[in-house]
Amino acid sequence: MSPVCHPTCSGTGRAALVILLLSGLCSCRYHYDFVREPKNWGEAQRYCREKFADLALPNNREDMNRLIAAAKESRYAGQAWIGLHDKCNWVWSMARNGVPGEQNWKYRKWAKDAPNHTRRQKTLCVSFYGGSWSDQNCNSNLSFVCYDNSTELGLPAISAGRYFFINQNETWSRAENYCRTHHTGLTSVRNKSDNTLLHHVIPQGQTAWIGLTRNTWTQCLSHKLNFTYWLEGRPLIKTGRCAASLFDSTNKGRWKENGCATRLHFVCQSKKKTLFSIKLTTLKSTIDLNNPNVMEAIVNQMKTNITDEEVKKNVIFTWIKNPGKNIFHKKEDGP
């Protein structure tokens, strides 16, 4: 954040203020605390949310370095739960997009050993071949099947005429967009009858996208995470669905997956509060800095000068005011 900014305040004759920040603004977003009480992942998450803010989850390398430093400072060694998980469910495209009558149908017809694609992909998508399903990299280019629920077709809901095999290779998301544009959506498979029907719609020997997908790890969170710090080769395909950080001289905080029922120590995060002062020089002597509109304008200007998007989402500005006293005090000119 630049140490000098020039906001324009409503209700003040649009006079400018020069703001000098005398101390750093929220240079650290979180404080980390290691809890040496073995708990499973869910218990650890509840504990952190009750006592702190949440299980620790670094958003970038800077956060991760501070977490490693916190482990060293507290002399912590070993595994510790962090706030990353892979508990997202498979969802159908048409249900996710709100198509009437659609829902997250539970029927599955996985091929042997599927799903078995690497969970290092942010998102997994499902293809259909020979009556069975496999998970795939969503950026693969495949044919696909659209479903059309239009009444203009004059067909029963379950009818081969409502399924359209599109013999052009597209990524899963492009296939989804095509189906939504030209039909109703990338097809769902509700039950065994649907699966048999689809088997006849797709030409023999062809692999085609269907509308099943799920997010993994970093995309399972309420806010999407673009940073990862996995051990090399992790996460494995069919291992645990909760992540821990390894604090030792070899791994230095790297992440690995564990079964969520495993009892481990854990690390919580809490929002760090930073008290700072500001010194303002008004370019118009009639400005009342204690006017609520002016104070709001100052806060808004400070927010606009935050360039780190993660900080901007998490920072909260609050004026600290003693009862009966103003926040701003005029400094008398010296001799």
Using one digit for the tens of pLDDT, what is the confidence trace for 244-276?
999 998 999 999 999 999 999 999 999 866 665
Q: Determine which helix (DSSP H) or strand (DSSP E) holds 201, and give its type and residue range.
A: helix 192-201
d(CA 313, CA 226): 15
Residue 35 in this model has a pLDDT that exceeds 90:
yes
In the block, which residue shows the tokens 């090399």?
232
Residue 3 in this model has a pLDDT that exceeds 50:
no
pLDDT band at 296 (very low <50, low <70, confident <90, very high): confident
DSSP code per residue over 117-131: S-TTSSEEEEEEETT
Strands 208-215 and 142-147: parallel
Measured from the Cβ of residue 34, the count of other Cβ atoms closer than 10 Å reads 19
Residue 115 in this model has a pLDDT that exceeds 50:
yes
What is the maximum alpha-carbon separation in the chain?
A: 94
pLDDT band at 294 (very low <50, low <70, confident <90, very high): confident
pLDDT average, residue stretch 225-238: 88
Q: What is the mean pLDDT of the chain?
A: 83
- For 51, the token pair is 């006592």
Question: pTM of the entire structure?
Answer: 0.69
| Per-residue 3-state assignment (H helix, E strand, C coil) for 64-114 | HHHHHHHHHHCCCCEEEEEEEECCCCCEEHHHHCCCCCCCCCCCCCECCCC
d(CA 320, CA 323): 10
If you ran DSSP here, which 8-state letter would residue 286 be given?
Answer: T
Which residue segments constitute the domains of the chain, with CATH numbers given?
A: 4-27+274-314 (no CATH), 30-87+218-271 (3.10.100.10), 91-215 (no CATH)
Percentage of the chain exceeding pLDDT 70: 77
pLDDT the model gives residue 25: 43
Rg, C-alpha atoms of the chain = 28
d(CA 288, CA 13): 11
d(CA 17, CA 14): 10
In the block, which residue shows the tokens 């010296």?
334
